[in-house]
Structure 1
Amino acid sequence: MSNSNNSRRRFLLGSAGLAATPLVAGLAGCTSSGQTTSAASASTAAAGGNTTSTAVTLAARRRLGSLEVSSLGLGCQTMAGTLYGPVSSREDMITIIRTAVDQGVTFFDAAEVYGPLEVERILGEALQGVRDQVVIGTKFGFEVNQQTGERGGLNSRPDHIKQAVDGMLQRLRTDHIDLLYQHRVDPAVPIEDVAGAVKELITAGKVRHWGLSEPGVQTIRRAHAVQPLTAIQNEYNLLWRGPEQQVLPLCEELGIGFVCWAPLSYGFTTGAINPYTRFAEGDFRAMVPRHSRENMPANMAVVQLLNDWGVRKGATPAQLSLAWLHAQKPWIVPIPTATRTSHLLENLGAEEVTFEGNELQEFTTALNAIKIRGERLPAAVLAGTGVEAPMP
């Protein structure tokens, strides 16, 4: 093993050792705050370490259909500072994206409504000069004023899709979108019409691949029949494993890749959130039912499981969470968000974490024994998932 790898292993073991401290002891020292700190960052500070000096450069590649991407992508949703609260600065977000490129990340995820519009602008600026080295994914599906960013309801009418894509191309500073998703199924527009519009965009060279986010199962089949899908993007993590029931088997059947949004459960499986956490005003995570005072104590059993395994594997909870997703299927690609360079570099370390022998079965068996309490999303947001498009 190289000196660099030895150095990283020492860092990981130090992180895991700190993470192994019983949760009840850790909670005793928590203060109420809208800011959270990851276990990896805390352990690095305690050890006087520097994650940058031991950062992993991603080498593995995965395939979403015929599209090749890095084993981990970078979700950029939080970079506008409107989801989890304010970010340090726009310039810092651009630096994080460029650091990700330097560390081997080739897959970046955005959407028209992230900001709205601002995340695409940040990504477009950050990727100037390296556009031909990366894969950009973004999403349409809402009524968004292209000048003001004011957001309305769902809109996947073909004429609107084409208008939205033209705006995306301008903000992203590119002539094509590598992976274009319908953000949510529009119950007023047949998926055949949506697929037909995207097919025209592909023929025109403005789009290369397409996908759906949180669709109904039959909608996947119908869309794929008109224009083959490259990826489905759904929430999938240690607290929400709903895709295992129908969506993942269907993706395997049809040869469609799977992209996990919220692979770290909005930060919960990093160990950064606990019953004493108080979110800043406007932080989306405060509205997630799993994070309520009634539900969170029971769900902390997942974090304890990750802490225990962190000692065993020499990894942080975040890295174990991502490694478990990687171990499910070779065509699954998580896209964790990051608004701090330290969190990005910690996540990339998941590539070095593997489950050997019967470890995956052992870990999953223990996970199966934990009953997760609370819905994964607020009711109004949850109502937009798993929707079946109307028939033509």
Structure 2
Amino acid sequence: MLANQASPNPHTFPPLLKSTPSLVTALHSQALRRGILSDPFVLTTLLVIYATNNHLACAQKVFEEVPLFCLVASNAMINAFSMNGNMEGALSLFRSMMFRDVVSWTTMVNGFAFNGDFGAAIRFFGMMITHKDVVGCLVKPNEATYVSVLSSCTSLEGKAGLDFGRQVHGYIVVNGVELGVFVGTSLINLYGKMGCLNYAVNVFRVMVAREVCTWNAMISSLASNGKEKEALDLFEKMKLQGLKPNSITFVAVLTACARGRFVREGLQLFGSMSREFQVVPVMEHYGCVVDLLGRAGHIQEAAEIIRNMPFQPNESVLGAFLGACRIHGAIELGEELAKKMLKLQTQHCGQYLLLSSMNAEKERWDHAADLRKEIMEAGIQKIPAYSMVHLT
């Protein structure tokens, strides 16, 4: 374009910036040199790209160059603060805005959730639905708002998460909000995690449109609430609907197989992943298979899976294997395999301690002492245990 003497205009830079974020500084300079940096679309795109690349200071400088109040740029800056862990900056900007819309509020709710302050996310949603904004009107939540606040309820520990989630669900019903794919899926996730399987089933049944994520949530809810056979049946129904299982689907069904001790079915499903559905197994899938074999007492087969994995096992896989060795008394095999793996990843404090405890339980005091010595020599710090009482 430049070689043909065609001058770029404000419409040129946003797609360029989105397609080549690594060149943001060079393109920023080009826009400045060509006198089109004052365009709000160019500035907002620059702001977003800088924030995405963790250059918060650069994003803030770009925001300060926006000549007049711009709602889109302000929302983008709130998101930039949030995604970079500066919720104080996000809240300060939010409060200073002369006009706010549903995106402004949702970005704040999502920002608190992203930074792990789920209680604040829920409280902010409560403010949103009761507070007349700066223009004197109530702001109605949209689908993204509901998904964000329901995810926060799901992540909140204890009964409070369920109580808040049910209140949000009630608000959705009372206000006649259509139960779309993502809101419905979020409700299923909430009720499934909190052990309210009947509520999850009811939401699933009334949903008109269901996508793969919805079926995944329902299969996972069944698997985690003692309905492993029903989870596998639902998986078969999902395939009959013409939907293609994805990586998350297989985590859910393999978990169901492990908890229900359906060894043959689980191994068949694991084998079919790449062969029939072009889903490449990742660490979580291998962890599920190790758990499946370990729970059923097939310790040698579980060890063989770990040895043949295309990558080193993580703490979750080793934990599942060592837990099975402990239950079924296969101490020597667990110690042999785990020691080899732990030498490659020396910071697995919990797994060393589990091995030590396994030996102590069998009164193999020398082995237990040697492992404790290895922990100290490797400089691995044991995380102190603590107790917590949740008051409601």
Q: Shared fold (TM-score greater than 0.5)? A: no
> Whose strand proportion is higher, 1 or 2?
1
Q: Which has the higher contact order (CA 8 A, sep 6+)?
A: 1
> Whose helix proportion is higher, 1 or 2?
2
TM-score (norm 1): 0.28
